[in-house]
Each structure stands twice: as structure tokens, then as C-alpha cells.
Amino acid sequence: MSTAPTPETLAALLPEIAQLIVEALNLEVTADEIAPDAPLFGDGLGLDSIDVLEIALVISKRYGFQLRSDNADNTRIFASLRALTAHIASQRTQ
């Protein structure tokens, strides 16, 4: 069952998720350089569908829930670092 994360939870989790993305994808940016509301795809961070699969795998291992490729909400979930963090905070079991 999902619960709405508090602003404090999101603020604490944002840098952790940014670092997870940097490490999982071996990006040449630091976690601090990922703007919370910038798009993860296209003009933002420039991720592609393979990158999303890598991130989903790491999230599954670390937070105890799966991001499914057939989820209709994936566009919203992966819209930005803040959106992804909010989803993780509401779904995680670990």
C-alpha cells in the first residue's frame, strides 16, 4: 500500500536517489548537478530507455519493489528526479 511521502522525506531522499542514478549509470555528472525538477529524458539528463531499465533494477534491489516496464505511469514516474523520488518514497518497503 502506498502512502504520500512528507516533504521532509522527499528532501532527505532526493540526494540519495540522485547518487543512485549517477552510480548506476556511471554518469559524468555529480549527484548535486542533477536538478530535482529537470527532465530525466531528452534535454534534461538525457537518459534513454536502457538507462531506465538500469535504474529500475537498482531501485528494485535497494528499495524492495519493482518498477514494471508496462506501467502506464512510467512517463510520470520518470519525468524528473523529484517525481521518481516521490514514487520511491511512496512505494518502498526497505
Domains of the chain (ranges, CATH numbers): 7-91 (1.10.1200.10)
76 pLDDT tier (thresholds 50, 70, 90)? very high
The number of angstroms, rounded, from the C-alpha of 91 to the middle of its chain's C-alpha atoms is 12
Return the closest-CA partner of residue 55 out of 34, 11, 1.
34
1 pLDDT tier (thresholds 50, 70, 90)? very low
Is-contact 55 85, C-beta < 8 A?
no
CA distance 73 to 6: 21
Question: Does 89 have pLDDT greater than 80?
Answer: yes
Distance separating the N- and C-terminal Cα atoms of the chain: 13
pLDDT digits (tens, 9 = 90+) for 12-59: 999 999 999 999 999 999 999 999 999 998 888 999 989 999 999 999
- List of residues 6+ apart from 11 with CB closer than 8 A: none
